[in-house]
Every structure is written in C-alpha cells, then in structure tokens.
Amino acid sequence: MSMPFPFDLAWPTSGYLALYLVTLLMHALFMSYVLGGALAVAFVRLHGVRENGPVTRTFIDWLPFALSAAITAGVAPLLFVQILFQREFYTANLLSFHRWMAILPVLIGAFYLLYLLKARPHARRLSAAVASAVALSVIFVAWSWIENHMLSLDSSAWVKQYESGALAYRDPAVFLRLAFWLALALPTAFWLLALQLRFGASGAKPEEAHFATRRLAPVALGFLLVAAALAPFVLRGTWSLSPVDETRLAGADVPYLVLAAVGVLLTLGGWLSSQHLPRLSGLCVVLGSLGLALTWWGVLCARELVRLARLDLDTLTQRHTELATSSGLVVFLVFAVLALAVIAWIFDRVARSLR
C-alpha cells in the first residue's frame, strides 16, 4: 500500500513537506481567525451596531492575540517554504519587492489599530473606521501572499514582470483565490469563536453563547459551501493565466479534495447538531473541530500537490538532498523541543491561574 502524501515522496522532501504542512495548518487557523474576525467586527460596526454582543466582544478581545499568533505561526512554514521552493518563492518575492515588503508596516499598523479598537470599543464612528481599516489591512496581506504564491508558480511571467517593473501580478484569478480563502476563513473563525464562547471566553454566559452560535451557523454554513464549490477550480488555477497541466496532475489532488469534502460534511454536522442543544455538546465540539481539521488538511495537501505538478520533482528532490547534508536537523529538533516545552509550560501556568 502506498503511503499518504507527503510520505509517498523521497526523503528528505517528504520530511520537509510534512513539517511545512503541519506548521502551515497552524498558521491557517490563526490567520483565518484574524481574517474572519476582522471582517465580522467591521461588518457589525459599519451596520451601526454600537453595543458589544458576545461575538464582537470576544473578537475584539482576542484579535490582537490572534494576529500575533498568526504572524508567529507563519514563521515556521516560511522557513520550510524557502527550503522546499527556494527558486520559485524568492523569485516572486524579488519581483514584487516593495509591494511585498509593504506587508510589514501594514501588519504593524493593524496590530496597533486592534489595540485601539480594544481600548475604545464603544466609540461608534471611531470603532467602525478602525475595524474597517484592520479588515482592509488583513485582506491586503492575504492578497499579497496569494499573489506571491501565484507569481511563484507562473515562471513564464517572470521576465515580463521584471521588464515591466510592475508591482502587482495582474491575474484576475488572484481575486477568485482571495474569495476562496475568505470563504474558508469565515466559517473557521466562527467555529473557533463558538468554541471560545462555549468555554466562557470574554465572560460569555451560556445563553449568550447559545444565541450567538445559532446566529452564526447559517452564515458559516453558507460560506463553507461557497468554499467547497470553489476549492477544485481555485486550487488548480482553472481560471487563472497559468492553470495546472491536468495530465501532469493526473488527479493526484482528488483524494485530498474528497477528504476536505468529508471535513466539510462533519463541520456541517457540528453546526447543525448545535442548533437543537442548549449548549455545544462534546459531540458537536468533536464533529466540528475534526471536520475543520480534515477540511484544512485536505485543502493544504491538494494545494501542495498542484504546486508539485507544476515543478520538476527530480530537480527539487536533488536540491533537498543537498540541503539536508547541512546537518541542521539536530539544532532544529533541540529548538523545536524547547519551544514546545515552553509553550506547554505557559499553557499550564495560565490554566492554573485561571482556575
């Protein structure tokens, strides 16, 4: 029986890819919370709602933490993507240099704005403006990552892009991909929020949590279905300037799209069963969370298989084998264990003091 992706590939490519995918999954969850949360708060504020219900209150409280977590959790996959796809990733970075570097001041600005929002949540106009600025900043960052990813895979556009000095990669499918990530981020953020409310985050009372979960469910389900419908086309770049060559892909992504679809069904089950209960039961929590994890894992694996189908795997594997001789593995493992131990210690301290 052949091993599941990425373990079916040669070592050390499979090892780098496994670490890349696991760390990217962590980044994806936090960045979804930031994207979904910022959009939800901006939407509520722009509709003139001034008082903070459990949804806005919890998002406003937790968004600064989530943004720092999204940024921190982005560092690990950033290291692995540079090892895995050095030539492609750096070329795209360099081609859109100033545009690309703009994500740093934008993220710093968004970070401070989130604290401003937290400090002045009741100033109606100010908080509407601040929430919208945060949402736009975060969307700009998502757009930049998407553009970078798509440009990195379209090597035929590199020379023209360099000659024209254009700062943006002009493929309209960038916006479709952005719509896809947003459609997936919103239900992810809402589910994470539903879990937080269930456990009383930001002082949420059980009846508030129940009411909020019921209100969020139809929106989350709608976006989840949109994401499911877009996934195969967006990931394969069907309507982009450089779609993947289907003969090279040979349907390798299909099992992972199916896995993602199973995840979507489980998540739907989690949301729907929560509608009839006074609070999220253990079964709902497991269903929804497992569903979300499977959905993201399926999407990230399919996304990676599509990227590999565009590149020369032999050249990549050879480069990774050379890199693996740099003997950084021991140092990496030591620091990975240290970091995990510190995180576990912090969790333990916080849990104890909360108790």
CB 224 to ligand HEM: min, Å: 17
CB 139 to ligand HEM: min, Å: 7
CB 93 to ligand HEM: min, Å: 10
How many residues are listed for the chain in this entry?
355
Name the residue number minimizing CB distance to ligand HEM: 74
| Residue keyed to tokens 């084998």 | 321
- Our measurement of the distance from residue 249's CA atom to the centroid of its chain's CA atoms, rounded to an integer in Å, reads 24
- Contact between 72 and 80 under an 8 Å Cβ cutoff? The reply is no
CB 178 to ligand HEM: min, Å: 7
The dihedral built from the CA positions of residue 204, 205, 206 and 210, taken in this order, carries a sign that is negative
Q: What is the DSSP letter of 121?
A: T
CB 58 to ligand HEM: min, Å: 18
For ligand HEM, which is the closer residue by CB, 92 or 128? 92
CB 185 to ligand HEM: min, Å: 8
For ligand HEM, which is the closer residue by CB, 198 or 236? 236
For ligand HEM, which is the closer residue by CB, 55 or 83? 83
**CB within 8 Å of 295: residues ≥ 6 apart:** 184, 260, 263, 264, 267
User: Dihedrals φ, ψ of 239, to 5°?
Assistant: -105, 20
Task: List the helix and strand counts (H, then E) for the chain.
Answer: 14, 0
For ligand HEM, which is the closer residue by CB, 31 or 209? 31
For ligand HEM, which is the closer residue by CB, 88 or 208? 88
For ligand HEM, which is the closer residue by CB, 44 or 138? 138
- Left if phi > 0, otherwise alpha if psi is -120 to 50, otherwise beta: which for 311? beta
Interaction site with ligand HEM (CB under 6 A): 24, 27, 31, 34-35, 67, 70-71, 74-75, 77-78, 81, 138, 141-142, 145-146, 149, 177, 181, 303
